[in-house]
Amino acid sequence: MPSEASATVAQSALDTKPVFNPTPLNFDTHNFPALRNDLYLRTARGEQTERAPVWCMRQAGRYLPEFRAIRVENEFFRVCRTPELATEVTVQPIRRYAELLDAAIIFSDILVIPQAMGLEVEMVPGKGPQLPQPLRTPADMARLTDQLPGFSVDTELDYVYKALTNTRHVLQGHVPLLGFVGAPWTLMAYMVEGGGSKTFAQAKAWLFAHPAAAHELLGRIADVAATFLIGQVRAGAQAVQVFESWAGELGPRDFAEFSLPYLARIAARVKAVWPDVPMTVFAKGAHYALEQLATETAFDVISIDWTIDPAVARTRVDRALEAAGQRRTVVLQGNLDPTLLFGGPDAIRQRTQEMCRGFGGSAHIANLGHGMMPSHDPEHLRVFLETVHVASRALRK
């Protein structure tokens, strides 16, 4: 049974517009509410739609005062590990931007996978994620738990599954719910560096000094990630995204060896179980790999950052698919520079309209080129969302 405080939090997720039906914690994975807004899913599957769906990476986060209020009394990973708190945080932007967001993404973190594999991860104010005992040498992989007898991804990360299931019920079909994981190279970088880095010297040294060990670690992470995504869909996720946040730290040759095969492995494993669930890959900074991501993986959507012209990206992807003889649509997602939300409403409208024109009437999911930032004005995000609705609809008339 949830505590009185937990019940209050769960109820607060329901008591303002859009109205979600009040329920206690609900972990029933067989009787989800019918989906009322399937625009995101139709677009992700390559269908022609009346406008571009829109959501934002890190749309549940520190830029929202209601999120900061939750965090006053709750450590970051406690929010992730407590289903009613994760649900509340996930629905906050859906509530605030009623009818403007076309998807919710579960509140969690890419580093729950290293935690599940036996590493300690702390979220340190002002520093971000820190791993006090990183994997400094290949011998340190002996500390990982994923190959121990009895290890279960589903057991270790059951709290994420519970958050997904409960949130799916609380959303009452208002919008689809997305799950996600971090990609193997990005997670390896954190696990070796012990946190973020400007140079990723230690993680990249592993690739070049210990390539066999690096491939072993990347493969183990990929297997955990794939199992985790399969479980997320079973728990209620209606689409999933893989975040290769540090892809741009690798050159084309190294991306092709140390990132792309593991992204492809994850997509193939998930699609083997859930062939109709849309999958997105976000390989930030890896523009050189657009063709390979489109033709050598099973991802339905490629998310791009703001440093590539969307029209160029669209042309390159379409030509690569044609040259490979692949008769499928790969949807693009993105790609407004997040710092544009620090500008005034007029600048946001103008650049958002330009972004929509760049993608044209093709299959496009509107998003930022990376995540929301803590100091963003929530009302500036509203301007972006409203502009996408109007501009993308006008392009498709």
Question: How many other C-beta atoms lie within 10 A of the C-beta of residue 86?
Answer: 24
Of 62, 220, 234, 316, the catalytic one is 62
Q: Is residue 58 among the annotated active site residues?
A: yes
Choose the catalytic residue: 71, 78, 220, 357: 71
Beta bridge partners of residue 367, listed in sequence order: 335
Judged by phi (left if over 0) then psi (alpha if -120 to 50, else beta), residue 99 lies in: left
Which among 63, 97, 190, 262 is annotated as catalytic?
A: 190
Residue 45 appears among annotated catalytic residues: no
d(CA 157, CA 170): 20
Q: How far apart are CA 313 and CA 320, in angstroms?
A: 11
Angle at 240 between CA 374 and CA 215, to 5 degrees: 95
Distance CA 356, CA 366 (A): 8
Q: Nearest to residue 310, comparing CAs of 278, 280, 354, 346?
A: 354
The answer to whether 190 is a known catalytic residue is yes
Is residue 109 part of the annotated active site? The answer reads: yes
* Catalytic-labelled residue, pool 45, 51, 58, 265: 58
Q: Which of 109, 146, 223, 300 is catalytic?
A: 109
Left (φ > 0), alpha (ψ -120 to 50) or beta: where does 149 sit? beta
Whether residue 276 lies in the annotated active site = no
- For the annotated catalytic residues, the residue numbers are 58, 62, 71, 109, 190
